[in-house]
Amino acid sequence: MQLDRDDERILAGEQGETKQKMLELLVALGKVFGAERLVPIASAQVSGASYKTIGEYGLQWLSSLDAKAVVPAVLNPIGMPRDRWQEMGVDEDFAAKQQAVIAAYERLGIALECTCTPYYLRETHFGDHLAWSESSAVSYANSVIGARTNREGGPGALAAALVGKTPCYGLHLAENRKPQVIVRVQADTRDWTIAHYGALGYHVGKMVGNRIPFFSGIDPDKDQLKGLGAAMAATGAVALYHVEGVTPEALDGSFDLSSPETIAVESGEIKKLFKEIPVDAVAVGCPHCSPAELEEIAGLLKGKIVRMPFYVFASQGVIDKVPRAVEAIEKSGARVFADTCMVVSPVMEQYEAIMVNSGKALAYVPDMCAAVARIGTIEDCVLVGTE
């Protein structure tokens, strides 16, 4: 693998042991995947932030590192809201461990924006090379923005943040970004919501695995694309998809679509995922809500009172953009929590059945929260969750 003089100095230990080890990790990854060089990155998004997922060994490893991020870098959601963990019902032992994880990342120069939607906080551009690790963020960056990132593991993304580069292979290369399977959606999608696109992604992810799908027959907006990609990354391992005439690399009709297999999806296959199951909590914001979603939820909850725990998750930066919407949501008794989410917080394990408007949450809640998951539109969530 080609390395420049700066890289050689880092490998010689001139910038400390942590950076040396981190670059060794990146070089080893690059060799495994056949990368010829490292590529500078515009930003990193580092998973492995919740104490629920990394545990004591993860915390000890993070605490042993000594270097500073050299590019803008944020964290994935953690196990609790940093300021309101008591209100969310997080126990003190967990909170202390989680605070230690955060402190370790802060020492490494990682910004304490704990979110899977970093693209709402910092402009990310078409063609930017990134080292992001949360699967829905990776999908959005590649597919909706046209930036380039592989789905990094937590240590790989952290190493990239500290070194400022990542191995150039996989989705960093144009030749690896072509469609591999065509998905023709044969349904009237004019009334489809984020939940419908999440359900579509849930269904298609199981069929396409880790291939790159090219969709036709749909016209989703950006929040709906977010839900579609998040779900496909959960039930499959889709890190990039294209939508005919919608996503940036599928605008000009230049892909050769003569050889990929074609899958047809009909509306009945999506509708049957919307089952009416009794629930004891509602959780929306997977991936974290956009400002527009928070405003929509505020409008729907206006004049209503929730009759069960009703969680809304978003990044602190997005919450700060629409304070009146957040206030209106909380007036109903629902809670808007930053930094965390329904999957990485231990608090959600107390419920038996959780209603979501997300295909990704539909896939993850059963295993990660040991609860039944029900998907519905945001209107359905409000209807079920309020008096």
Residues that bind ligand F3S (CB under 6 A): 76-77, 116, 134, 136, 230, 286-288, 313, 341, 343-344, 360, 364
State the nearest-atom distance from the C-beta of 124 to ligand F3S, in Å: 16
Residue 165 to residues 6, 54, 124, Cα–Cα distance (Å): 11, 24, 16
Q: Which is nearer to ligand F3S, 52 or 196 (by Cβ)? A: 52
Nearest Cα neighbor of 227 from 383, 375, 123, 53 is 375
Task: Report the C-alpha gap between 154 and 172 in whole angstroms.
Answer: 18
Least CB distance from residue 331 to ligand F3S, whole Å? 23
Helix/strand/coil (H, E, C) string of 105-161?
Answer: HHHCCCEEEECCCHHHCCCCCCCCEEEECCHHHHHHHHHHHCCECCCCCHHHHHHHH
Q: How far is the CB of 364 from ligand F3S (least distance, A)?
A: 6
Residue placing its CB nearer to ligand F3S in the complex, 67 or 114: 114
**Most distant CA pair in the chain, distance:** 65
In angstroms, give the least distance from the CB of 44 to ligand F3S: 16
Toward ligand F3S, which CB reaches closer, 232 or 341?
Answer: 341
Q: How far is the CB of 14 from ligand F3S (least distance, A)?
A: 37
Give the number of other Cβ atoms within 10 Å of residue 210's Cβ.
Answer: 12
**Nearer to ligand F3S by C-beta: 288 or 374?**
288
Angle, vertex CA 333, rays to CA 323 and CA 372, nearest 5: 110
Q: CB-wise, 225 or 341, nearer to ligand F3S?
A: 341
> Of the two residues 179 and 359, which places its CB atom closer to ligand F3S in the complex?
359
Q: Shortest gap between Cβ of 251 and ligand F3S (angstroms)? A: 26
Q: Are 47 and 136 in contact (CB under 8 A)?
A: no
